[in-house]
């Protein structure tokens, strides 16, 4: 019985994670097909989740979306992650100074996920939003965090085959490790059209009070515009300084909490 309950819980969590900005509403058939489950199983799980407020069923379309219970948990998570609050003014300043969209991101499984975003007046065509996932190896934030992981952690995070997204995507583990070593030495990364054509990003790591990489911050914009600004603006310095500022704020908050306790 315990194994069955564990399986049901895992399936319910998978259903929740399947709702994204790209797919905010889903029907029973959609979920069943995506997860490889029977429609009866999915219908039962969604009904249970709806009764607890984790999903909402539209009576007109019979399609499901996330419910208010998820919003409550989201607000709780935000209050428990100091980096979310600390990063907002820094991201605002970074976007103001560079004129480019900025993000804060972390690693989750074999993807990087955006936690915060401040959009510029003329954003790139790369579609990003809070909660959006991208592959680690093809993104500036992913590479920036990966560079400061232990070697065994890198092996666990990277898939055996590195998917290609453009002609500039690094699909060789050897080449990726070479770039990672350079990132670790220089404390920043420039990702040039590796995830999407005509999109360029610059990222820098963020560390916790123990010196372990926690997240990364970046700016993203059209490749031609970023390259032009690199000649006359201090884009790299701005990104690195912003990462160092958030690192400092996170450490200060940790120190204050330690004194309070």
Q: Are 45 and 28 in contact (CB under 8 A)?
A: no
pLDDT, block means (10 residues), the chain with 261 residues = 61 84 85 91 90 87 84 55 80 95 88 89 76 90 95 88 95 95 96 94 93 94 93 91 93 60 44
2-71: CATH number? 1.10.10.10
pLDDT at 153: 87
Q: What is the pTM of this model?
A: 0.72
pLDDT at 80: 47
pLDDT at 61: 92
pLDDT at 188: 97
81-260: CATH number? 3.30.450.40
**Domain ranges (residues) in the chain:** 2-71, 81-260
The H or E element spanning position 42 is helix 39-51
Contact partners, residue 165, CB within 8 Å, separation at least 6: 135, 138, 194, 195, 196
């Amino acid at each position: 019985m315990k194994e069955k309950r564990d399986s049901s819980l895992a399936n319910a969590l998978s259903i929740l994670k399947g709702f994204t900005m790209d797919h905010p509403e889903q029907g029973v058939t959609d979920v069943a097909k995506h997860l490889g489950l029977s429609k009866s199983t999915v219908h039962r799980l969604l009904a249970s989740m709806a009764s607890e407020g984790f999903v909402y069923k539209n009576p007109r379309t019979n399609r499901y979306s996330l419910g208010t219970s998820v919003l409550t948990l989201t607000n709780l998570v935000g209050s428990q992650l100091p980096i979310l609050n600390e990063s907002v003014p820094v991201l605002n300043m970074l976007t103001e100074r560079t004129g480019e969209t900025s993000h804060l991101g972390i690693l989750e499984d074999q993807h990087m996920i955006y936690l915060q975003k401040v959009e510029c007046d003329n954003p790139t065509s790369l579609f990003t939003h809070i909660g959006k996932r991208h592959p680690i190896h093809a993104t500036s934030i992913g590479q920036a965090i990966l560079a400061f992981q232990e070697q065994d952690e890198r092996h666990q995070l990277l898939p055996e085959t590195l998917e290609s997204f453009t002609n500039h995507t690094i699909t060789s583990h050897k080449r990726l490790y070479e770039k990672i070593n350079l990132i670790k030495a220089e404390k920043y990364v420039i990702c040039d059209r590796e995830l999407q054509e005509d999109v360029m990003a610059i990222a820098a790591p963020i560390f916790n009070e123990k010196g372990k990489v926690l997240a990364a911050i970046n700016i993203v914009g059209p490749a031609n515009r970023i390259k032009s600004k690199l000649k006359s603006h201090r884009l790299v310095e701005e990104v690195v300084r912003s990462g160092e500022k958030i690192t400092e704020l996170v450490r200060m908050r940790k120190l204050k909490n330690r004194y309070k306790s």
